[in-house]
Amino acid sequence: MNLNFLYHFGRYLLMIRTAIARPERFAMYWRETMRQMNDIGVGSLVIVALIAVFIGAVTAVQFAYQLQDSFVPKYYIGYIVRDSTIIELAPTITCLVLAGKVGSNIAAEIGGMRQKEHIDAMEIMGVNTAAYLIMPKVIAAVIVIPLLVCIAAFVSILGGYLASVPGGLITDAEYIRGLRSFFVEYNVFMMIVKAVVFAYILTTVSAYQGYYVKGGSIELGQASTQAVVYSDILILLADYIIALILTS
């Protein structure tokens, strides 16, 4: 079990080392990165916004329920929605969802290319396939996913507003006051750090699963599933480590 882990970890590091190389033709890598930015960013916008609005709404409603008959001021609802969203929910939930959507897609795309001999064909042409197939995805993800996370945080706070103000849980002024209270800029930095790290994890782990896939469609399905499972586990582990480091 341990040796198996070391085998995969070593092969993962070798893949990353090979992928970090000077592009054969910069324009081709640029084009591929742009395509990936569109696929990952624009392609995930709706699902990310949809999830974020409900996360904000549920956080607001749940916290309003906790505050019933308590001495804690109601404007704290806005404060809690903002901080829980920025520090934890926006980066983590968004990236867990993206691991499912983007990660499985990356594993299936690269794995399909491996099985259909597209990767062999590129290798024989002289293309560094690890670099061409993986780096544009990683670069696109570490740029676009933090932007998605920022959008998710904004939409989540909006969701909290929509769930609490029109429903009469809290007034408009109270919610806005909560949003403006005790704001710490460092939390936004923490959110961005998490988004970048999670983006790196979900793309490279998924690419690894696809790049080394063997067998047929069943194995490709397994690789796709493993990409999501391992990405999710590593994202949660990284979340804990980042929290420890950045809050110590």
Partner 1 sequence: MIRTEQIFKSFDDTDVLKGITTSFEKGKTNLIIGRSGAGKTVLLKLLVGLLEPTSGAIWYDDINFCELNKKQRRAIRMEVGMLFQGSALFDSMTVEENIRFPLDMFTKKTRKEKLNRVNYCLERVNLEGSNHKYPSEISGGMQKRVGIARSIVLEPRYLFCDEPNSGLDPKTSMVIDELIRSITIENDITTVINTHDMNSVMEIGDNIALLYQGELAWQGNKDEVLNSDNKILDEFIFASPFLQRLRDAALNNNVSIKPDK
Core vs surface per residue 191-227: b (16+ CB within 10 A) or e: bbbbbbbbbbbbbbbbbbbbbebeeeeeebeebbebb
Note whether 62 binds partner 1 by CB under 8 A.
Answer: no
Q: Which of 15, 45, 127, 188 binds partner 1 (CB under 8 A)?
A: 127
How far is residue 117's CA from residue 235's CA, in Å, rounded to a whole number? 31
Question: Based on CB atoms, which residue is closest to partner 1, 62 or 128?
Answer: 128
Note whether 15 binds partner 1 by CB under 8 A.
no
What is the DSSP secondary structure assignment for residue 102, as one 8-state letter? I
At position 167, the amino acid (one-letter code) is G
Identify which of residues 131 and 243 has a Cβ nearer to partner 1 in the complex: 131
Q: Does 123 bind partner 1 (CB under 8 A)?
A: yes
Q: Which stretch, 84-92, 126-134, 151-159, 180-188, contacts partner 1 (CB under 8 A)?
A: 126-134
Q: Which residues of 130-144 are buried (b: 16+ CB within 10 A; e: fewer)?
A: bbbbbbbbbbbbbbb
Q: How far apart are CA 29 and CA 72, in angstroms?
A: 54
Q: What x-and-dash track marks residues 20-59 binding partner 1 by CB under 8 A? A: ----xx-xx-------------------------------
The minimum distance between CB 110 and partner 1, in angstroms, equals 13
Number of shown-chain residues binding partner 1 (CB under 8 A): 16
Judged by the rule CB under 8 A, the positions of this chain that interact with partner 1 are 18, 24-25, 27-28, 116-118, 120-121, 123-128
